[in-house]
Amino acid sequence: MMDAFRRDGGLIVEGMFNRATIDAMTAAADRRMPEFPPGSATQGMGAAGAAFVGANTVRFSSLPLLDDAYLDILDNEVYAAIADAVLLPHCGSYWVNTGQIMYIGPGEAAQVLHRDADNWWEYVRSAWPNVVDITISAMIGLEEVTEELGATRVVPGSHTWENLDYRVEHESVPAELGP
């Protein structure tokens, strides 16, 4: 599994969480979703953030307050093994930076290609291409996520490129997920 992660820069793990955990998290998220109008999240970036997160997408955080199922997700052995393998060689410990639910609405435009580590752009830019992993991102499908439904697009292997060229939409593929 980690060989694929290092080669491609990510991986899809099927069956990582039991159905009861997924169902509980889905039900909790569905109860909370009506409180947030589409397009209201800006990631603290104003208009640029609104464009990035989408006009027809609902996003919200504070997931531990939704249901204990979120804590079950965090306590998953596979999840921990991946995080340990990627992060612990470069640090003494790590923590969750953000946990977020996303409901992508009909007709939502695709996000521009980006690296989540760009939140720490000064570090990434100064160390590229020898960037030490300082973050990992996990997307957990609470329902089926297909290209037609707005699956995140990825460019396998782009984490090894010498340059940071994001104009490679033609090389991207959808990261389709099942619950």
| pLDDT reported for residue 43 | 64
Share of the chain above pLDDT 70, in %: 94
- Name the pLDDT band for 166 (thresholds 50, 70, 90): low
Helix (H) or strand (E) segment spanning residue 123? helix 121-127
Q: Does the pLDDT of residue 168 top 70, yes or no? A: no
117 or 85, greater pLDDT: 85
| pLDDT reported for residue 179 | 83
Q: Does the pLDDT of residue 170 top 70, yes or no? A: no
CATH architecture classification, 2-174: Sandwich (2.60)
Interatomic CA distance for residues 110 and 149, integer angstroms: 10
| pLDDT reported for residue 6 | 92
**pTM for this predicted structure:** 0.84
Average pLDDT of span 18-45? 89
As a whole number of angstroms, the longest Cα–Cα distance in the chain is 45
Q: Does the pLDDT of residue 158 top 90, yes or no? A: no
Interatomic CA distance for residues 89 and 133, integer angstroms: 9
Question: Domain spans of the chain?
Answer: 2-174
What pairing do the DSSP bridges indicate for beta strands 57-60 and 101-104? Answer: antiparallel
